[in-house]
């Protein structure tokens, strides 16, 4: 049995968004951004980010994300994407969902995690950022290890389940510390909401603010 990795996904899947909430590349207005009460649950902004990614160049989702970040989204909008994607994946599958990937996706995963560190730092969550930063090299090591075990299985070897469990348990050991949170950090969604209310223009401009 091949052990598959959890693929990254949008906060609102493209198909669902298109059916229930048609998305548009048209950015929200300054007034709409300033009036956001909870940026973690704002349909207009979420759909705008989803549309920017969907419209970007690339055959696969990770390629679209990178193109959108580098060409369409402001730095703050990209920060929002990385924070919400990280926490969304973690909420659905723990750090395994966040950190593990197929071997050929490791370079993108490393880029994504580094961007996530920058995002948490931007909203004053320095302890969270430091915690994630320490997991970046481990992510590559664990993904390579699982990839190698899968390769051996594909070649017909009877790889014991314990070999996979050993790697997974190393990843899972970091879930509790992350779940407990970091006392020195603000609530990241509260910090983002306050930021977008005070500086809505930062979520619309291309490049560093």
pTM of the model: 0.86
CATH topology of domain 14-203: A middle domain of Talin 1 (1.20.1420)
Domain boundaries, the chain: 14-203
Written as tens digits, the pLDDT of the chain (209 aa) is 344 444 443 333 333 433 443 445 688 999 999 999 999 889 999 999 999 999 999 999 999 999 999 999 999 999 999 999 999 999 999 999 999 999 999 999 999 999 999 999 999 999 999 999 999 999 999 999 999 999 999 999 999 999 999 999 999 999 999 999 999 999 999 999 999 999 999 999 654 44
Q: What is the pLDDT of residue 60?
A: 93
Span 139-189, pLDDT tens digits:
999 999 999 999 999 999 999 999 999 999 999 999 999 999 999 999 999
Classify residue 169 as exposed, middle or buried by CB count within 10 Å of its CB (0-12, 13-18, 19+): exposed
Which contacts qualify for 147-150: CB closer than 8 Å, 24 or more apart?
A: 147/102, 147/103, 149/3, 150/2, 150/3
């Amino acid at each position: 049995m091949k052990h598959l990795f959890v693929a990254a996904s949008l906060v609102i899947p493209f198909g669902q968004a298109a059916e229930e909430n048609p998305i548009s590349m048209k950015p929200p207005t300054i007034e709409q951004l300033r009036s956001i009460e909870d940026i973690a649950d704002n349909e207009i902004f979420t759909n705008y980010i989803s549309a920017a990614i969907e419209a970007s160049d690339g055959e696969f989702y990770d390629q679209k994300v990178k193109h959108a970040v580098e060409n369409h989204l402001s730095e703050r909008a990209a920060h929002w994407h990385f924070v919400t994607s990280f926490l969304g994946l973690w909420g659905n599958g723990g750090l395994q969902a966040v950190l593990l990937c197929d071997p050929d996706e490791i370079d993108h995963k490393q880029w994504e995690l580094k961007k996530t560190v920058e995002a948490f730092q931007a909203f004053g969550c320095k302890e969270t950022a430091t915690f994630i930063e320490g997991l970046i090299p481990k992510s590559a090591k664990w993904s390579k290890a699982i990839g190698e075990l899968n390769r051996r299985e594909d070649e017909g070897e009877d790889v014991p389940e314990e070999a996979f469990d050993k790697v997974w348990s190393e990843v899972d050991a970091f879930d509790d510390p992350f779940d407990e949170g970091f006392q020195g950090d603000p609530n990241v969604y509260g910090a983002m909401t306050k930021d977008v209310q005070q500086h809505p223009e930062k979520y619309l401009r291309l490049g560093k603010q």
